[in-house]
């Protein structure tokens, strides 16, 4: 029985297209070039942040984020960035009595922006706020403190084979993969995902029904 559902952020709840376009514009490279580089590192099972190294070797993304902020082009998360199924799914899950949370590899600023959206959830946390990032086991230890229930009663939903599915299962949690964004689509039929994920979802709206059965 699942008591808590915790969601990843990028390409799970948020469509990252606008943010990647903003980065491409900031770094003065064609948008399709950065998208292609992200696709390459994803297909190789690497962190998408490594794509920026091809554009600007030695780049420090923390410094660049600060520069963007100072230039008035900082991080933004608005309702238009949410996938259409997000709000109705979160509401249905919470209305059914489940504890619903959000926790992903995001900045502290992203945490503030997500809270400002007033999503129907019980808790929001980011890796920057916790001081640990996925796929570190310590991140999922924090989730077990964050969400009610025994580990096997917590479902973690994300789009990344290694950072979400494998890491969550290694921590004793249940996991579901959402098949969207580059990562979810690349790994939807991956044997590791099929072996570890409880479900592979085409839409988050599938979850309320699945969790009732």
User: What pTM did the predictor assign?
Assistant: 0.88
Per-residue pLDDT 10s for the chain (213 aa) are 999 999 999 999 999 888 888 889 999 999 989 888 887 887 776 777 888 999 999 999 889 888 988 888 778 899 999 999 999 999 999 999 999 999 999 999 999 999 999 999 999 999 999 999 999 999 999 999 999 999 999 999 999 999 999 999 999 999 999 999 888 888 899 999 999 999 999 999 999 999 986
User: What's the topology of domain 4-15+78-210?
Assistant: Rossmann fold (3.40.50)
Q: Could you read off the pLDDT of 174-206 as tens digits, one per residue? A: 999 999 988 888 889 999 999 999 999 999 999
Q: Would you kindly state where each structural domain of the chain is located, as residue ranges?
A: 4-15+78-210, 17-70
CB-based contact 96:87 (threshold 8 Å): no
């Amino acid at each position: 029985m699942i008591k808590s559902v915790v969601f990843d952020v990028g390409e799970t709840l948020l469509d990252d297209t606008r943010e990647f376009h903003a980065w491409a514009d900031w770094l003065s490279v064609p948008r399709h070039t950065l998208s292609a580089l992200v696709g390459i590192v994803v297909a190789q099972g690497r962190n998408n942040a490594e794509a920026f190294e091809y554009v600007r070797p030695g780049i420090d993304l923390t410094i660049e984020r600060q520069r963007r902020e100072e230039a008035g082009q900082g991080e933004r998360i608005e309702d238009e960035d949410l996938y259409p199924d997000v709000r109705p799914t979160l509401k249905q899950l919470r209305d059914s009595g489940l504890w619903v949370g959000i926790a992903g590899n995001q900045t502290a600023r992203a945490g503030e922006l997500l809270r400002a959206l007033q999503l129907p959830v019980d808790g929001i946390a980011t890796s920057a706020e916790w001081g640990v990032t996925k796929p570190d086991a310590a991140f999922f230890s924090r989730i077990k403190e964050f969400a009610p229930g025994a580990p096997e009663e917590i479902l973690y939903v994300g789009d990344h084979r290694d950072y979400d599915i494998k890491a969550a299962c290694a921590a004793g949690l249940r996991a579901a993969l959402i098949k969207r964004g580059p990562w979810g689509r690349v790994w939807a039929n991956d044997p590791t995902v099929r072996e570890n994920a409880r479900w592979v979802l085409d839409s988050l709206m599938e979850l309320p029904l699945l969790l009732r059965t």
